Amino acid sequence: MFTRKRIELIIERMAYKRAGRILEEAGMTGYTVLPALAGFGNGNKWSRDTDISTSTDMVVMISIGDEARVTASLEKIAGLLGNHIGVVSVSTVEVLRPDRF
């Protein structure tokens, strides 16, 4: 097994394409976006089925890549999060096919 980094980005739906471009430019080989259903933060709760302008929806982006690229992308991501509400965290994972990331 080979060690890689896993970025987990909890961010507004409207902003995930931008985050995706950032990850792409930083050389991450891929990402996956999961829809969120509800959430809580800053004392506010939101829920998907109760916001017609789905503009406050959050999604969770997962992107696995090598440490260098992850670090590279994090700065820009932080910039993006300056505007858009969201949370980013990084963890260590083991992968089977190192060439893939």
Partner 1 sequence: MDVAISTLLSPIILFFMLGMGAALLRSQMTVPEAFSKGVSLYLMMAIGLKGGVEMSKNPLTTEVMLVLLAGIVLSFLIPLLAFVLLRFTTRLGQVDAAAVAAHYGSISIVTFVAATEAVRLSGFESGGHLVAVAALMETPAIITALFLAQRGSAAKAPVAGAEQGELVREVFLNASVVALVGALAVGWIAGVDGTASIQPFFTGLFQGVLCLFLLDMGLNAGRGLRQGWRQLEVATIGFGLYMPLLSASIAAGISLALGLPVGDAALLMTLAASASYIAVPAALRLALPEAKPSIYLTLSLGVTFPFNVTLGIPIYIFIAQAISS
Instruction: Choose, by CB under 6 A, the member of 17, 21, 54, 62 that binds ligand AMP.
Output: 62
Residue 100 interacts with partner 1 (CB under 8 A)? no
Q: Decide which of partner 1, a second copy, ligand AMP, none touches 68; Cβ closer than 5 to 8 Å per partner kind.
A: none
Name the maximum alpha-carbon separation found in the chain: 45
Residue 50 interacts with ligand AMP (CB under 6 A)? no
- For the chain, how many residues are written? 101
DSSP string, 65-77: E-HHHHHHHHHHH
CB 72 within 8 A of CB 65: no
Q: Report the interface residues with ligand AMP, using CB under 6 A.
A: 10, 29-32, 36, 39-42, 44, 46, 58, 62-65, 85-87, 101
